[in-house]
Amino acid sequence: MSQTLVLLLGDMGITVLVYLFVTTVILARGSLITNFDLYQGMLPVQVILTGLLFNINGLYTIERKRFAEILLSVAVSMVQMLVLMMALTFFIREFALSRGVLLWCAVIDFVLLAIWRHLLWRYIKARQEIRGVMLIGSEDECQHVYQRMKQQPQLAMELRSICTDLAGSDWKSAAEQVDVLIICPDIRLKDKAKVVHYCNLHEKQAILIPNAYEVFCSGMTLDKIDDVPVFRPQHLLLTLEQRSLKRILDIMVALVGFFIALPFMILTAIAIKISDPGTAFQPLLMIFGAGGVLLTALVFGIIVCRIEPDNARRGPMIQAAFRGNYVLMGIPLVANIFGDAAIAIPTMMIAVIVPLYNILGVFVLETFRGGRFDLLPILRSVLMNPMILGAITGALCRLVQLPIPAPILKPAAQIAAATTPVALIILGASFHGGSFHAHLRQLIFSVASRLVLVPAIVLSCAVALGFRGVELVTLIAIFATPCVVAGFAMAQQMQADAELAGNSVVYSSALSCFTIFGWVFLLKTLGFF
């Protein structure tokens, strides 16, 4: 029986058993008895989705992967499955199906499927034979490939021979002692064909590392002009129509709406608190929040410089530690817990936190790019930010006790209500899912720092200093929210590792659904708000 079939059957069995267990044992049967047929009808959908997502995320080829990669892929698949199942159940049956069932299934599935894959991975690894490798190419290319091989022990490859001159060496005799021949891209096409022909005759595995031109040619299709065969390159980019629909509808329109709505949101929040002047402005909270962001950037800057030698990755890793998605996810968090009347405090914090985020982000990325940090242009761009302009306007209205007429306040509040959904559209449209295997260690550090380490340290200090209620949840919004989308765009503009920054946004946003709930649940249970 093939490995893929064994994994597929195991996944289907675990998914079915967990679903039946959750719907019949964990949850109260009395509350589900009227809709039990509906739950049974969704079981095949969940099984099919799980199999498809696992296949898309490469979970049926595990023999040459690190278990950390497998575990992260399982987590990503479970989050994707949970989101899709919740969306499907809403559109199919609205609120007739409990989302708690799906959440319980996802959590238990993740644990059992991870254990199942770990056992099979250990079994495959124990039976895996070391393959002898021969490198063919220039000395520099061979050295580069060898260093990459050493960083991937799960490949089970051992270097036994190097050939830098096919014409002047007896490479065939050396090739008899190995199982795999890796051909570097600087080898002539004639010599590549010779090595591949030898491998086919002697049942050796040939691995060709392509150059840029060969990668481009891989997307060609075979065509012909009369009786002459020709290759026709395919378009590597989206068409103009596709790019227009994708970017204009997903980002541009949403972005305009967001920047229109956000200042109104800030004005509305401040207007609510004009009649109560003592609660919106919290100088101690502002000092603690700003100081926490500065200290986080400093401490993690020192740590990252010690553990990561690559400057291109240092900037995104440090930025991930101190810069959270405060506006898009933090303020709605406070509003959902305490109501719209309580958002005056977190909105006033925007005037301190957002400029600090921007300045520190540019400073960190410019420092590790080797650029020049020019403070005046940065301050000028920060002051022209719509969020800051809205906060300044609202603060002036507050200081002069200017009442906002109802005909103005009501439309402003309606526009402000669109801020959160539009922001979520921007967040989803800006996701860039890429391969995380090349920077898995850095990605785990960035996500863990943002969601676990920084909140644990800062929130402990906040509790010890006496912050409670709305103030404490505002600090959760600052220090426990996922990486901000703007960090990805800034990394692109400043020649940092944009793929690492983008994956930090994607995976921290996905996992924050669980970590933010955990922090709120913990602090609520302990009676701090």
The rounded distance, in Å, linking the Cα atoms of 158 and 139 is 17
What pLDDT score does 304 carry? 92
Mapping DSSP onto H, E and C, the string for 10-46 reads HHHHHHHHHHHHHHHHHCCHHHHHHHHHHHHHHHHHH
Q: Which residue intervals of 370-418 are DSSP H helices?
A: 375-383, 386-399, 406-417
Q: What is the total residue count of the chain?
A: 529
Give CA 38 to chain center in angstroms.
33
What pLDDT score does 515 carry? 92
* Residue 528, phi then psi, degrees to nearest 5: -90, -10
**Token duo for residue 411:** 């439309």
**Token duo for residue 350:** 């925007």
- Complete domains list, the chain, with CATH: 3-127 (no CATH), 131-233 (3.40.50.1700), 240-525 (1.20.1530)
**Mean pLDDT, 10 residues at a time, the chain of 529 residues:** 78 86 65 57 80 82 76 86 74 58 84 88 76 84 81 74 81 84 82 84 82 57 59 55 57 54 53 49 83 92 90 90 85 80 77 79 74 56 56 65 68 61 54 63 92 94 91 92 79 78 84 89 88
What pLDDT score does 230 carry? 58
Look up the pTM and report it.
0.47
What pLDDT score does 138 carry? 84
The rounded distance, in Å, linking the Cα atoms of 518 and 23 is 24
What pLDDT score does 422 carry? 58
Helix, strand, coil percent values for the chain (each to nearest 5):
70, 5, 20
Q: Contacts by 240-249 with C-beta closer than 8 Å and gap 24+?
A: none
Q: Is the dihedral of CA 157, 159, 161, 163 positive or negative?
A: positive
Q: Which residues fall within 8 angstroms of residue 136, CB to CB, at 6 or more apart? A: 142, 163, 166, 171, 181, 182, 183, 184, 187, 195
**Strand 220-225 to 228-233 pairing:** antiparallel
Q: Which residues fall within 8 angstroms of residue 317, CB to CB, at 6 or more apart? A: 300, 304, 308, 442, 445, 446, 449, 500
What pLDDT score does 417 carry? 59
The torsion region of residue 53 among left (phi > 0), alpha (psi -120 to 50) and beta comes to alpha
Q: Is the dihedral of CA 385, 390, 391, 395 positive or negative?
A: positive
The rounded distance, in Å, linking the Cα atoms of 489 and 500 is 12
Torsion angle, CA of 22/26/29/33, rounded to 10 degrees? -20
* Residue 183, phi then psi, degrees to nearest 5: -105, 120
What pLDDT score does 238 carry? 56
What pLDDT score does 303 carry? 93
The rounded distance, in Å, linking the Cα atoms of 287 and 284 is 5
Say if residues 117 and 7 touch (Cβ distance below 8 Å).
yes
What pLDDT score does 452 carry? 94
What pLDDT score does 456 carry? 94
Say if residues 235 and 303 touch (Cβ distance below 8 Å).
no
The rounded distance, in Å, linking the Cα atoms of 46 and 293 is 42
Residue with tokens 């229109």: 260
Identify the H or E element spanning 183: strand 180-183
